[in-house]
Amino acid sequence: MEQTKTIKVKCPAKINLTLKVLNKREDGFHNIDSIMQTIGLYDYLTVSVSTSSDFLINLSGTSDEIPYDEKNIVYKACRLFADTVGINSGSISVFIEKNIPVAAGLAGGSTDAAGVLFALNNLYGEPLKKIELHNLCAKLGSDLNFCLEGGRQKTSGRGEILKKLPFENFNVSLIKPIDLGISAKEAYVKFSDKVNLSNDNSREGFKNDLEWAVLDDYAQLQQIKSTYPNSMMSGSGSTYFGIGFEFAEENGYWVKNSLPAVAEGVQVVRI
């Protein structure tokens, strides 16, 4: 008789309150010094495991902007968990309710991957300790460790080394050009290129080095910055955030106002 167990988790977006790029590492990543904060914008994952003779991973969801196959970091997280724990039969199904924009600097993919690791560990009876979950997170990407923990953290290394900071309540507003996504790879390549070419001190005026790296290349980002000079880009972009003010609704832009800072990372949804 087939048995199915299901859990639903909510996976928060993050913003970078500061982001300084220190140097390039031998593994191709960059060492960073960043303060990250989780906010009340969530993807929701419904994760089910059931018995079957073969091992299967099935992804589905609400977004037409992400793949639902082995290219998805959620799929990779399922595979890594199964390999680590020694699961070779049964079906894992994940439904992704996508509310965090893609390629937006808000850790949408990373938080979903951290969320599915958290969910699977719960469904399989917690075979992995928290430190072991963090080890898997670090293998998959730079922001997963932070998304697993949440709150306000000083992050270093390539983002996987965390130091918890005191939590502060505030509201944040977000704005993003609908048709513009920037990958982390693109932003870091532009950062390296600009560092090599630049002889001025303009970088010192930015709390986010990657904003300095990409701003000159995108008129839509320049429009946001000129209209809201106190706004700041999150991560590799293309989302800007503001604290203490709201963005006006405007055609061509996705806007979310008055989202709270939250003290948690990935959590079970209590129904």
Cα-trace Rg, the chain:
19
Residue 67 β-bridge partners:
none
- In whole angstroms, give the CA distance from residue 203 to residue 125: 48
Residues 207, 19 contacting (CB under 8 angstroms): yes
Q: Could you give the 3-state DSSP secondary structure of residue 37? A: strand
> Shortest CA distance to 253 belongs to which of 230, 235, 231, 270?
231
Catalytically annotated residues: 14, 143
Q: From residue 90, give the alpha-carbon distance in Å to each of 1, 46, 57, 77, 79.
A: 13, 17, 9, 16, 12
Calculate ∠ Cα 44-143-81, nearest 5°: 65
